[in-house]
């Protein structure tokens, strides 16, 4: 993120002010001591004029990457307490691709609307999930179901079962 901030000719304080976070938090992110939530990551990328994948660890296109169970950077969905946490499986700005795994239940906070560049692909592995799409009918996913929708449509998730859900979220950017 440091490189993107300097390319945008912004100080840590300017970036923090424009994103609604503190300058020490920006410093901690740049030093690898903290990870922003997905919502904050999208704000940072928007202000810096880059893709969120450019601000997370990047996997080189010419290398084979293996992410084992228990590995991968953990990213909360929002800055709220009890936010659902996803695991970054791939974040590659050269491919304009982000892949996350979410394992969550009704106790985790998912009540955040998102809208962003690119296409969203959700593949539900376990549980039952409601995808709310602003101005469109909700979509209920069962295990094995997949939905693709444009990222600019405001969207959010709701867990529809008492069981834990597990899903893959893929975001493909168009930049």
pTM of the model: 0.80
Q: Which domains does the chain have, with CATH numbers?
A: 2-55 (1.10.260.40), 74-172 (2.60.120.10)
Q: How far apart are CA 110 and CA 50, in angstroms?
A: 25
Q: How far apart are CA 103 and CA 15, in angstroms?
A: 31
> Residue ranges of the alpha helices (H) in 49-166?
none
Model pLDDT for residues 38-92, shown as the tens digit of each residue: 888 888 988 998 888 778 765 666 778 888 898 888 888 888 889 999 998 988 8
């Amino acid at each position: 993120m440091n490189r993107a901030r300097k390319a945008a000719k912004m100080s840590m304080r300017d970036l923090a002010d424009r994103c609604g976070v503190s300058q020490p938090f920006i410093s901690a992110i740049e030093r690898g001591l903290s990870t922003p939530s997905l919502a904050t990551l999208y704000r940072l990328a928007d202000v810096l004029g880059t893709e969120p994948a450019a601000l997370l660890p990047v996997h080189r296109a010419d290398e084979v990457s293996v992410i084992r169970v228990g590995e991968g950077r953990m990213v909360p969905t929002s800055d709220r307490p009890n936010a659902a946490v996803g695991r970054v499986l791939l974040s590659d700005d050269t491919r304009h691709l982000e892949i996350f795994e979410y394992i969550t239940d009704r106790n985790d906070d998912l009540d955040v609307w998102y809208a962003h560049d690119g296409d969203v692909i959700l593949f539900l592995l376990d549980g039952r999930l409601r995808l709310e799409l602003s101005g469109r009918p909700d979509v209920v996913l069962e295990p094995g179901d997949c939905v693709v929708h444009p990222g600019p449509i405001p969207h959010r998730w709701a867990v529809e079962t008492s069981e834990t859900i597990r899903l893959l979220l893929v975001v493909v950017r168009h930049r």
